[in-house]
Amino acid sequence: MPVNLSVPDPAALLPVRGVRLGAAAAGIRKPGRKDLLLVSLVEGSSVAGVFTQNRFCAAPVTVAKSHLATGAVRALVVNTGCANAGTGEQGLAAAKRICEVAAGLLGCRSEQVLPFSTGVIMEPLPVDRIADALPACAASLADANWLNAAEAIMTTDTVPKAISRRVEIAGRPVTVSGIAKGSGMIRPDMATMLAFVATDAPVEPALLQSMAAYAAERSFNCVTVDGDTSTNDSFILLATGRAELPKIVNSDAPEFKVLLSAVTAVCTWLAQALVRDGEGATKFISVSVEGGMNEAECRKVAYAIAQSPLVKTAFFASDPNLGRILAAIGYARIVDLDVAKVDLYLDSLLVATRGARAPSYREEDGQRIMKQAEINVRVVLNRGAASSAVWTCDLSHEYVSINADYRS
């Protein structure tokens, strides 16, 4: 059961001028479910991408990076059910073949198509089934298809994830819409599972890339479900330029800042949605670490807490066994950390101060907060002015069930 996350209202998902989406059921893993998405982009769109740092990066990621570098992207093809990772030369050929088929349908060059895959690793991509289903995707291309698109990229997700924002830039309405998938193997490293965000604002490509990196760093790179970084993580930011605005070419311009803020908000919502729908999640937990010497050490501490199986099972049980949080802070590898300065809060409840249980802390107060569906763990290191936050979920029986049964 996702935590405070439900299927988006289709009416709240706004078309982005210049982007059309079409989905189909290719029977990649299971028959009869949507598992293939085609996104077509108007000519002249800018496209930016942030990709997994996993050395076993999947074949489609390798191909997408190389095609992205040629510029002039016109389409994305996304399949679920098979990651096409750990597949060697054969996998690269398969990803390229998908691009060729899509290019034939859309009348562009295959280098203008970016391929993406998600699903089981080390199994061959069923190229023929995908090629056979692509015409159905092309036939259903429409600009109002965002919910369909979000559904077509789900794997163990229980809820499609899609969101739109509308902002005004230079007096003109600008739309940002995005979708994402992922609920396990989530510990993005410079990117998330799969996320695609589009805007109709006109943005110069290099600037769009810096916008993608900024937004990823503050959204997808702040979540963890199980600490496993996927082979296929990709976040793509599209700007079609169809809004009637002068092209945004300067990162100091107010137009850039308004758009950056809207894109980051959409990415943050999507990243938190991944955690809310984390495999087996029953709770949404934000971990904020303040008072560090720098952001990096705050993030280390936050991730040590957010990834500890012992902390996560305590949240699942609503058990205020909060010494486990102190233990995680202690092994976060902050070499000169003075634990005698550390304070720990649950929401606004002071649990530990100067490294030890606070005299005012009463277990029944901790218990009450641990039962909530959303909890903020706040750590104050008291050694500097930097801060960082990450979002995670609890570790439940259901996580084990989902991952023990995933392929069966």
Contacts with a second copy by CB under 8 A lie at: 53-57, 83, 85-91, 120-124, 184-185, 187, 189, 226-231, 307-310, 313-314, 316-317, 319, 321-324, 326-332, 334, 337, 339-340, 352, 354-357, 395-397, 399-401, 403-408
DSSP state of 404: H
Q: Catalytic one among 156, 175, 192, 282?
A: 192
Query: Which residues, 6+ apart, have CB-to-CB distance to 124 below 8 Å?
Result: 82, 84, 87, 90, 91, 94
**DSSP-assigned letters across all residues of 188-227:** -SSS-SEEEEEE-S-B-HHHHHHHHHHHHHTTGGGEESSS
What sections of 107-245 are H helices per DSSP?
Answer: 127-139, 146-152, 205-217
Q: Shortest distance, CB of residue 234 to a second copy, whole angstroms? A: 15
Q: Which is nearer to a second copy, 204 or 398 (CB)?
A: 398
Q: Which is nearer to a second copy, 385 or 404 (CB)?
A: 404
What's the burial of 123, exposed, middle or buried (CB within 10 Å: 0-12/13-18/19+)? Answer: middle
Q: Which is nearer to a second copy, 59 or 263 (CB)?
A: 59
Q: Which is nearer to a second copy, 287 or 332 (CB)?
A: 332
First to last CA, the chain: 21
Dihedral of CA 181/12/264/146: which sign? Answer: positive
Q: Shortest distance, CB of residue 95 to a second copy, whole angstroms? A: 13
Over the Cα atoms of the chain, what is R_g? 22
What is the rounded distance in angstroms from the CA atom of residue 209 to the CA atom of residue 276? 27
Q: Which is nearer to a second copy, 175 or 230 (CB)?
A: 230
Query: Which residues, 6+ apart, have CB-to-CB distance to 145 below 8 Å?
Result: 20, 21, 22, 23
Q: Is 192 a catalytic residue?
A: yes
Q: Shortest distance, CB of residue 353 to a second copy, whole angstroms? A: 9
Q: Shortest distance, CB of residue 382 to a second copy, whole angstroms? A: 14
Give the three-class secondary structure for 317.
coil
Helical (H) or strand (E) element with 61: helix 59-69
Q: Which is nearer to a second copy, 132 or 365 (CB)?
A: 365
Helical (H) or strand (E) element with 100: helix 88-106
Number of other residues whose CB lies within 10 A of the CB of residue 118: 29
Q: Catalytic positions, please?
A: 192
